[in-house]
Every structure is written in C-alpha cells, then in structure tokens.
Amino acid sequence: MTRTTRSNPFTPGFGALPTVFAGRRVEFADLDQMVERLAAGIYSQPRLVTGERGVGKTVLLREFEENLREDGHWVVRAVATPGDAVIARLTARVAEVLDTHDAFGRLSRAAAATVRRLAGVTIAGSGVELEPDTSVEDRALALERLLVEVGHLARERGVVLVLLVDEAQTISRVAVGELFYALQEAQTVTVSRRDPSGARLRHALPIGAVVAGLPGLVGHLKRAGSTFGERSRLLNLDVLSEADVRAGLVAFATAGGATFDADALDLVVDACAGYPYFLHVVGEQVWYAGRGQVITAAEARDGIAAARLRLEAFYDERLRELSALQRRYLDAAARLDPGQRSAAGIAAALGATSSQLASTWQALTARHGLLRPAGDGRLAFTLPGLDRHLQSGQEEPSRRR
Ligand SMILES: Nc1ncnc2c1ncn2[C@@H]1O[C@H](COP(=O)(O)OP(=O)(O)OP(=O)(O)O)[C@@H](O)[C@H]1O
Ligand SMILES: [Mg+2]
C-alpha cells in the first residue's frame, strides 16, 4: 500500500507552503534580480503581485521569504487585515528582525521609541498594542523614519531589507495611501559620497518591497490617491501553464512515492485548469481514490468527481459577495460563447446598453476581479471553470438558494 493519508503530498488550503513548488520561474527570476540590484545599491521598483484567490500569491511570498533568509537578508512579512493594523505589525516585525540580527541596540533612541509606540512591543515581545491617539499619517511617517534607519543598518551589514505585505487590498483607504507613500519615500532615500575625482556617487538604500493582493488592489490604491500602483512593477499571477502543472503533478506523485499513468496524468492536468488551488483539491482526492503505486485513469476519474463538490463550494464562496445585478451579468456572460463575451454582447443579452451597465462590469473587473479584459473588447472569466459552474447552476435552478 503506497497511497496513504500520511504519504499524500497534496495540501489543499491557503497559504500553506506546498511540498513541491510548481512553475513561477519568471516571477522568481524577477524578484531575485530586484534583490541583486538593491544589494548593489541600485534602486529597484516595488513589486505588486496580484492575482485571483488561490492562484499562489501567499506561497510565492513565503517561498521568496525563505530564500531571502537563507541568503542572510532581512525580511519583514506582514499580512494585512481590514483597517490599519498592518502598520503596527510591520513595525513589530522590523523590531524582531533587528533583534534576531543583534542590531536593535544600534537604533537611535528616537527610532527605538517609535518601535515601542507603534508596535507596542518591548524587544522582549509583549504583543501588539496601538497608541489610540496617534493618527495614521503620524504612524506612517514614524515607520518611514524607522525604515530609513534600518535601511542604513542593512547597508552597513551588506544585506537587503525586504518588506512583504500580503492581502494589501484589505488595508483601509486612508492607511493604504499613507503606508505606501511612506514606503516609497524610504525607498528613494540615497546615500552619496564623492569618488576620488570628486564626482558624486549615489546609492539607494537597500530597501525592497513586494506587496500582494487581489486584482482589485490596483484600483484600491488609485482610489486612495496613491501612485504606488503606477510606480510598482506589476507581477500578475495567472494560472500555471499546462507544462508546469504536468511537471508539478509528476513531482508531487514522486514526493509521495507514486506515479501517474499517462492517461491519468492527462485527466488530472485537464481538471486542474492550471489553477494551483485546484491542483491540491483534485490531487488529494485522486490520491485517495486508490492505494497502489500507480495512479490509474479510473482512479483519476473517481478522484476528480469527488473533488467537484469542493470546487463548487469554492466558486459559490466567490459569488456570495455579488449584488443581484452583478450575478445576472455574470450568468449572462456565462451563457454566451467566449468569443461573444463583450460588454456590448452581455448588455444586449440583458436587454440593456453597455453604458447602462458600465458600473456593473467595472465592479466585476476592478473590485471583484471575476472578469478581465481579454483583448478585442472581449471579457473573460478570471477563475477557470467559473463559466461552466454558472452554466450548470442555470440548468438546475433548484440547486441555487
Ligand atoms: N506554484 C505552486 N505550486 C504548488 N502549489 C501551489 C503553488 N501556488 C499555490 N499553491 C497552492 O495553492 C493554494 C493556494 O495558494 P495561496 O494561498 O498562495 O493563494 P493566494 O493567491 O494567496 O490566495 P488568496 O488570495 O485567497 O490569499 C495553496 O494550497 C498553495 O499551497
Ligand atoms: Mg493569500
């Protein structure tokens, strides 16, 4: 018996580092280049990682974090939650990083006081507590000053300070503007000296930033009046290529001590539709559909059927937050052939004009990220298989509550 609960290499869920990391070579190459340039004292744009739920933003950040730590760099990672608590969290993590590297004592008295005031932590770590009467603007400015100091310390040590902020779309509008303005300011501080000929040489502080969030993050930043989105390099995480899914599945099976037969592999690759979250949900069930060392096509079919209910629950979760009109708009889009899915085509199907429904498609693209422009004026569903899910819901209306 090879395929057991213990040997199952798939880990459905969110944010868990996978046993095997599939694809994302382009993104990692870009992030590595960013670090290399910062280490050389050259400014490097912040990276904005956007993508649908479950596409792999968090694990990209976490894998990158691990690589950075291994290389001795200073990493500060914070997950944002609604409001502005992320400022306190970042401050607390900066203090932890300094403490780990025996550098906390090098902070100026003012910066050490900032840490205590913003994060409510003593360096022994007494938890996160905010001074209730400091404004977001003041806290962001204090964080900026702290980052500049820590950037200088990192430079002295020959390492890069990298800030990783996840779930940035949840940060309140005021705080998102202030926080990223502060970050931008800290990143553009330069250190200059004269070379022997008297010419001025400038170096940027080695401060990097990678900010991740749902596709609506770019619009959220704009609405906050922030130019951070425009100034960042966008890394839009799409589904994995078929080749990456195939290679990933083979590597997962190997990690668990099994192999796919060729037909089984084709079926599972197809069912995953390139979507990392689905890869785990489907992979887990296919694993449990048999016990032998070789995963057969019949087992793949059984596993895919067993995974379907979970995938449907995932789609329903994404649809729950929509208004009735937004839902009707999506239903109409799903009924059309992919080639006919334009704003005008969908509006016509609903007996309206595209300008009458402009705010609806804007909300579905910018805020909810469920549709995206696909060239030639067409709109496409961002989540693979969502159109099929909506179609099946329309065939069997009794299944919808
Ligand atoms: N490149 C990958 N290789 C293997 N597994 C992956 C990969 N990317 C993501 N996963 C897996 O897919 C699932 C979803 O990934 P993750 O939580 O990073 O998504 P996310 O984009 O952060 O989603 P959310 O927006 O909901 O936070 C996790 O179980 C993760 O382990
Ligand atoms: Mg995530």
Q: Going by CA atoms, what residue is nearest to atom 27 of ligand 1?
A: 53
Q: pTM for the full model?
A: 0.86
Mutate to test the pocket of ligand 1, among 8, 14, 244 (most ligand atoms within 8 A of CB): 14
Q: Going by CA atoms, what residue is nearest to atom 8 of ligand 1?
A: 56
Calpha distance 130→143 (Å, rounded): 13
- pLDDT for residue 395: 63
Per-position DSSP letters for 304-335, written without gaps between them:
HHHHHHHHHHHHHHHHTT--HHHHHHHHHHHH
Q: Going by CA atoms, what residue is nearest to atom 1 of ligand 1?
A: 22
57 Cα–ligand 1 center, Å: 6
Cβ atoms of 286 and 300 within 8 Å: the answer is yes
- pLDDT for residue 120: 60
Calpha distance 114→102 (Å, rounded): 18
- pLDDT for residue 397: 46
- pLDDT for residue 150: 94
Q: pLDDT truncated to tens, each residue of the chain (401 aa)?
A: 789 999 999 999 888 899 999 999 999 999 999 999 999 999 999 999 999 888 999 999 999 999 999 999 999 999 999 888 888 899 989 999 999 998 888 888 888 888 887 776 433 344 444 444 578 888 888 889 999 999 999 999 999 999 999 999 999 988 898 899 999 999 988 888 888 888 888 889 999 999 999 888 988 899 988 988 889 999 999 999 999 999 999 999 999 999 999 999 999 999 999 999 999 999 999 999 999 999 999 999 999 999 998 999 989 998 998 999 999 999 999 999 999 999 999 999 999 999 999 999 989 987 788 998 888 889 999 888 899 899 987 765 444 44
First to last CA, the chain: 42
